Structure 1
Amino acid sequence: MEHIEKLGSEKPVVIFSKSSCCMCHAIKRLFYEQGVSPTIHEIDEDMRGKEMDRALLRLGCNPSVPAVFIGGKFVGSANAVMTLHVNGALKTMLKDAGALWL
């Protein structure tokens, strides 16, 4: 769990993903379209991937990916990110985290 939190706080936007996950792809694309370059951790390509998967499940992500951290804080999975995007709060969070300068 500490490893996930440490990685999640290293950059303004961090996404834990699996390379074959369609929702992960959609969330990454959403951030790219906002002008954000998130740090991506493909847990299926990481030696500690299974451990990371279990830690994300313990954080409350079910399924474990995509899991998004903004400004070092765990935001949630695809549903949480899309809700923030639709209600306009995502841009504010990205600006506050220093990931967006518009």
Structure 2
Amino acid sequence: MQGLHYRRGAAETKRRAGLQLRNPAERFESGAEAVERLAAENAVLIFSVTSCCMCHVVKRLLCSLGVNSVVCELDEVEEGLSGDIRRALASMVGGGGSGGEKMSAAAALPAVFVGGKLLGGLDRLMAAHISGELVPSLKEAGALWL
């Protein structure tokens, strides 16, 4: 799939690699499948948008901890798959509005996965960092060794 690109490392590098599919004919059936597969294959995965300041803070925090995360910039993904991924992330995050409304796709970003599980966005990442839960979970996922 040519349209899905992600970056290894939260550092501000321009090196990008296309998603390597086991079989070139293989296609994702849905955005949820893409999210699940990428989360399972990487210790730390960040779904982000390049122009989002909260996404930037998430990437910088993990980089400062020495985490080599995989960053999937959704504004650089082909349009159809990007929308599917955003909807899948919004449904994973769940209702954030009043009256049981689903959270909008834009509000679901940034989305951080650690060890294949959704940790959350900036607020949950900062809460885990302040409480001291973040580093042990990163070590458990194999993202930190020290």
Length-normalised TM-score, structure 2 = 0.67
1:13 corresponds to which residue?
44
2:47 maps to a residue whose letter is F
The answer to whether the 8 Å contact 1:9/1:69 transfers is no
Per-residue deviation at 1:69?
Answer: 0.4
1:37 corresponds to which residue?
68
Deviates more, 1:5-14 or 1:53-62: 53-62
Distance in 1 between the 2:34 and 2:82 partners?
11
Per-residue deviation at 1:89?
Answer: 0.4
Cα deviations by residue, 1:57-89 (Å, 9 ceiling, x for unpaired):
111164121000001111111111110000000
Secondary structure at the counterpart of residue 9 of structure 1: helix
2:43 maps to a residue whose letter is P
Per-residue deviation at 1:33?
Answer: 0.2
1:76 corresponds to which residue?
120
Corresponding residue to 2:109 among 65, 69, 74: 65
- For structure 2, list consecutive stretches of 5 or more residues without a partner in the other structure: 1-31, 95-102
**Counterpart check, 1:101 vs 2:132:** no
Per-residue deviation at 1:8?
Answer: 1.3
Structure number with higher helix proportion: 1
- For structure 1, list consecutive stretches of 5 or more residues without a partner in the other structure: none
**Counterpart check, 1:56 vs 2:96:** no
1:24 corresponds to which residue?
55
Distance in 1 between the 2:125 and 2:40 partners?
17
Between the two proteins, the alignment pairs up a number of residues equal to 102
The answer to whether the 8 Å contact 1:53/1:64 transfers is yes
Distance in 2 between the 1:72 and 1:79 partners?
19
Length-normalised TM-score, structure 1 = 0.95
Structure 1 vs Structure 2 CA RMSD: 1.0
